[in-house]
Amino acid sequence: MVAPLYTTASGLLFHAGKILVITIGLPARGKTHISRALERYLRWMGVKTQVVSLGDYRRKKLGGTQKLPPDYFSLGEKSPETIALRKRISDGCEKLIWDYFEGGGQVVIYDANNGIKATRHAIAEKFDKAGIHVVLLESICDNKEVIERNIRSVKISSPDYKNWDPDEAVRDYYSRIQSHEKYYETIEDRTWPYIKIVNVGEKIMLNNVHGYLQSRIVFFLMNIHNKYRTIYFARSGQSLIEHSYKADSDLSPAGWEYAEKLKDFVLERRAKSLEQRGLNPRERKLVIWTSTRRRAHHTAWPFVASSFQKSIPVSNIPTPPTMDHPINSSSSIHLPESANGNHNGPPMPSTIKVVEKPQMLEINPGVWDGLSPEQGKKYYPEDWDRFTKDPYAYRAPRAESYHDLSVRLEPTLIELEREQEDLLIIGHASVIRCLLAYLIGLPASEIPAIEIARGDLLEVVPASYGVHSHAFHFWDGPGRTGEGDGDVATDVRDANNFYENYAESTKGKRKVGVEQWAAETVETVGAGEVEETKTAKEGYVEQEATATAIASADLLTVTVEEQI
């Protein structure tokens, strides 16, 4: 198992050398989705990886289809002007690849159709002679539903079809596909190592793949898909004993109230999101992952209970599961027809599946258990100094480092890629930091300083060019605001939880947003209601009104906060 930990003088890891992955496939076959997902995974491993997209580069240099010659996308005989334009774009992409390798990069994924055998072999031979390993990656798709979904969700929303009627844009794109089909040549010989993927993960075929890093690429590609799903993140509710890692206490009364609020908000938000896409929330399953800690899996209990009752007052919550008799580690609750039909609240999923995962236990603080950052600095000054210099990799005595946690979470990351249903992860802040950083492509050094506040629901929707990300605030009770009920004051932080405080105190906190990343565009909408930061190095990044993509050759970061 791997996770980003070290760098080398050459910038290369795993004795793998430099690798060029050349994608092959007809338009709308999921090449971009596969390329971006693979880039995200390799970067999380610490491998310097770059996607070079022919389409993005062409849009950046030449604009949309409106500015191109009519024969630009049709293969066969072309005008001298078109030939010159196409050569200019292909040469420009090739230069980007060379520049990245010369700058210390290890893996480049060349995202283009490359459907003609002679053309892709010419590219492969150039880089092979320079000592760069070449792997061909072909995406084959004969599922018409998948192709149609790719076209409508991604392709016609690009600048190529700005201001086009959607149905007309679909017809035009299909004509583009048909022109490529006449000349398309699938991989048949074994000149180069290749990976063939059928229907984005349904089937995979290999030839001459060798070495650790290439094998990891294959392992990752065996687990991906491009079906629409939403991933939600939320912290577990407040427990009776918050400051001790060793204690495994039940939820406090405020924690149970929080769990109810979380259930209501997730179901409402999920139903709204699905209905906007024309999907029935009653027909889709909801999977919930928690750790084996009481406060985590008890926070999921209202979801289980609500499958059978319209609502459960906090004072009348039935006896929850215990550590002796917990929610099954993998149990499905099928909603009775009567409850589903008569439910007056947000539409309930057809099935709720709760899975407890030991890998999702919070980070072990070791000797810092129960200490505040100030106390840790006082009692363990040398460890504190080393920790503040490298909070990701440093391991305190009898503790885990964030690198240890990342290694422990790798099987969960692969399951995250494989999961096809809507997913709610109820976890500890340290775990959510690692999973979120992986999804949005943050560097490892930033993981310990990501703020994950109790009372915020993070919504992530994987897309072809990255992910759409939203953050919704739904809770201001104890454990969040510094104000309790009546005259009882509660702290927004767990006063003696070392790792929580390091990220969430003003001394250590770093928010993903405007101040952290250089931005080309900063836009504020609705008097502070929506804050959007966008950085895109190559070409266009698809964007919606209130959602934004998080992807790019370097990093595109967006934070959207909505007060509910």
Residue 158 confidence (pLDDT): 64
Residue 417 confidence (pLDDT): 93
The pTM score is 0.79
Residue 306 confidence (pLDDT): 74
Q: How far is CA 326 from CA 94, 250, 290, 323, in A?
A: 56, 12, 12, 5
Question: What is the spatial distance between Cα 470 and Cα 561, in angstroms, rounded to a whole number?
Answer: 7
Higher pLDDT: 158 or 278? It is 278
Whether residue 488 is predicted with pLDDT greater than 50 in this model: the reply is no
**Could you tell me the end-to-end alpha-carbon distance of the chain, in angstroms, rounded to an integer?**
40
Residue type, 345: G
Q: How many residues does the chain have?
A: 564
Lowest mean pLDDT among 327-336, 486-495, 532-541: 532-541
Catalytic residues: 111
Confidence of residue 259 (pLDDT cuts 50, 70, 90): very high
Phi and psi torsions of 560, nearest 5°? -120, 120
Q: What is the mean pLDDT of the chain?
A: 77
Q: Where are the alpha helices (DSSP H) in 182-235?
A: 212-221
Residue 379 confidence (pLDDT): 92
Cβ proximity of 1 and 410 under 8 Å: yes
Taking only the tens place, the pLDDT of each residue in 427-457 is 999 999 999 999 988 888 888 888 888 899 9
Lowest mean pLDDT among 250-264, 324-338, 379-393: 324-338
Higher pLDDT: 459 or 332? It is 459
Whether residue 318 is predicted with pLDDT greater than 60 in this model: the reply is no
Confidence of residue 4 (pLDDT cuts 50, 70, 90): low
Residue 478 confidence (pLDDT): 76
The pairing of beta strand 530-534 with beta strand 521-525: antiparallel
Q: Degrees (nearest 5) of the Cα angle 513, 386, 427?
A: 50
Taking only the tens place, the pLDDT of each residue in 185-229 is 999 989 999 999 998 878 899 999 999 999 999 999 999 888 889
Phi and psi torsions of 143, nearest 5°? -90, 110
Taking only the tens place, the pLDDT of each residue in 503-560 is 544 344 444 432 232 222 222 222 223 333 232 333 322 323 222 222 222 322 222 2
Cβ proximity of 462 and 229 under 8 Å: yes
Cβ proximity of 266 and 470 under 8 Å: no
Confidence of residue 5 (pLDDT cuts 50, 70, 90): low
Take residue 319 and report the two structure tokens written for it.
């006896």
298-316 mean pLDDT: 68
Take residue 168 and report the two structure tokens written for it.
């007309």
Whether residue 308 is predicted with pLDDT greater than 80 in this model: the reply is no
**Kind plus residue range of the DSSP H or E element containing 231:** strand 231-235
CA contacts within 13 A on the Cβ side of 334 = 2
Residue 166 confidence (pLDDT): 77
| Extended beta strands in 325-463, E state | 330-334, 351-356, 422-427, 456-463
Orientation angle between helical segments 31-44 and 429-440, nearest 10 degrees: 130
Lowest mean pLDDT among 121-135, 234-248, 325-339: 325-339
Nearest alpha carbon to residue 219 among 48, 420, 414, 30: 414
Averaging pLDDT over each range in 26-30, 290-294, 451-455, which range is the top one? Answer: 290-294
Taking only the tens place, the pLDDT of each residue in 146-195 is 787 777 766 656 666 777 777 887 887 788 788 788 888 999 989 999 99
What is the percent of the chain with per-residue pLDDT over 90, rounded to a whole number?
40
In order of start, what are the domains of the chain with their CATH numbers?
Answer: 19-222 (3.40.50.300), 231-310+347-478+493-504 (3.40.50.1240)
Cβ proximity of 2 and 177 under 8 Å: no
333-338 mean pLDDT: 44
Residue 199 confidence (pLDDT): 87
Whether residue 498 is predicted with pLDDT greater than 80 in this model: the reply is no
Nearest alpha carbon to residue 289 among 389, 422, 185: 422
Lowest mean pLDDT among 57-66, 246-255, 491-500: 491-500
Residue 245 confidence (pLDDT): 83
Taking only the tens place, the pLDDT of each residue in 71-121 is 777 767 788 888 888 899 999 999 999 999 999 999 999 999 999 999 999
Residue 160 confidence (pLDDT): 67
**Kind plus residue range of the DSSP H or E element containing 286:** strand 286-290
Q: How far is CA 55 from CA 60, 258, 546, in A?
A: 9, 46, 25
Residue 410 confidence (pLDDT): 92
541's CB contacts (< 8 A; 6+ apart) are 465, 466, 534, 549, 551, 552, 556
Question: What is the spatial distance between Cα 148 and Cα 249, in angstroms, rounded to a whole number?
Answer: 50
Question: What is the spatial distance between Cα 231 and Cα 256, in angstroms, rounded to a whole number?
Answer: 23
Take residue 60 and report the two structure tokens written for it.
């950046």
Residue type, 142: D
What is the percent of the chain with per-residue pLDDT over 70, rounded to a whole number?
74
350-377 mean pLDDT: 89
